[in-house]
Structure 1
């Protein structure tokens, strides 16, 4: 047995950790990583023209975007590579040509000042280095700009100090604050002459990943075998504090059901993958126990909270039309699917106790967890009031809340997580689609 485990560990360690998941909003990917990484390189072109004449300036950029018609896409660690070309039919008195990449937080439509959290520049041509500032004919200057992985922001009256990872591009129509990235080539001319510039926005994706799950869960994923529960795999589960579901059943009597919930460790999950769950319910009230242990009665959700940038933070920040923003500014992003547990003899139907397994399938287009100054994208797994036809909860407040992180890539040296929900119990997908609002255009498939 030890030799077998060691052989599996060597197999896991040999897996290629550099391949990010394919972000398809239709078909989740659970297969092995390809042995040979592939990276799609797309060239984007942007032009400056004068009337009907051919372009006199062209910006070319290489990126991971699936087509030239999409915005350029860069993954954390990528460099922005491209070139800038002049085709001048007459001389032009130019002072300098420079390429600039920058990331900004736009507080909102009412706020004129954008907060620039990173900016890098490269001078492509300068009159100071030439005998004449007049350019005529064909010129081409290649350039490379480094996108930093982290930036350090000094504290001010409006911004929190600290070192932050660059957040993913963020733009949602009903939320005021946005994260935008742009590439600009500035053409500066002499005094009293109009400068020119050519620019494009681009999408940035952080390469964040969780640490590997427990060895037993890795073996289960590799062999496509059932996941072991908290008793058999204590290293693989995070136990949350027990909580009690209180309410009235059949409009006749009060009841209380004690629950315990476990989340798969680590508490960091890749978008497009499932979050495994286990829940137990205990009570001497058999009728209430049967009602509340029905898979559709248990309401566990991945929820998101957005924090806008000051001074936009004084405005309401969420766009869930059904949420009470003043009380709980959160929105449901995905719901858990549940089914009776098969682990152990009669594990799901012991006297006075019920046990269910579950998972939350994360949408592949979720924005990852992020923080930059006061702006933040935060996630929690929350137990909301149970829903059963003959049960009235004591109140409508969440019963339990656990902070989690959402990342963009799978764990290194680990097989991809698998979905285990039986089709007849996986009713969460429709609810997740109804509650999720995608506006950033980053749901296309791309690979390295």
Structure 2
């Protein structure tokens, strides 16, 4: 077997001699068939390896280019979607502002309606009092008229008796004088009665006009109430859904806000339409107070929303890089947003700064304590613009995005905590997307 291989190599690669000549001598190198085979095989392998490696490198570069282009396309689509969401958020903010304007107009309408109804009630009571006085005066006048008629009849009877008995001229003269006086009095009473009747007719006409005005006012109030109730329901429903979406105990939160803002008076004071001292309120009063109660509830929701971290922490371009949850076997207790160095970072709710400095892993860190036991954290900042103890409002500038601490690139690490437990920030951000 080996001899056959050697013979095949000798026939294919006969022995070669390579002469090397110098000025003084000549040397040669003998190339055996095995040496020639090894050299040619090695060269072929080297050439094949070079071709394969070049092909792999070319294919890798082409694939990397496709992946890079795909990543750029995905980034462009993501940024376009973020811009669209930003526009939608701005539109919702404008709608919320318009709703607040409608609330103000509704409150003004309710206040004006209360004033008109109170004035109408006062006018009605004055007219009723006037009618009662006129009726009383008319009754007295009619009573006096009846008494005067009786006296006149008595006098006429006495005159008749006197005429029959032929009384003296002096008594007859007295009786005639008295009769003239009574006749004049009866005429005056009749005139006063006619005047009283005219006043009664006028008062009844005025009462009918007041009743008609009250009917028109009631129809107008019905339209106003329907519009107000629709506006209140339309504006309050998204806020209630926002609170329920993140699982907040709305009853206890609203009760805390109500205790903190317990001052009374102003446009949301309960309305009393009747001034007659009735113990039972009328349906219109109940309906108005129900609307005011819903408006008061909307204001409580608005105050609570200002104090809870529903706002977005970044002003400017960004992209989401890492969400809340397990990451590389460890719990990632916040949400990362990448952006340019120096991108403005905003407070997401009203609160007090409890930490503004360096913290292990977080780099430059800001902590803000909010009402109801909530806390927000803003990590890896390049610059801190607030101090410990400073009170901030939702949307205030508190720092700049950076790359400090354990960070692989410029981004914001944003956390929401309650009682030390981390919550998913995107639940709050998404819940508020249709409201703010």
TM-score by length of 1: 0.27
Give the structure with the larger strand fraction: 1
TM-score by length of 2: 0.28
State the structure with bigger RCO (CA 8 A, min sep 6), 1 or 2: 1
Give the structure with the larger helix fraction: 2
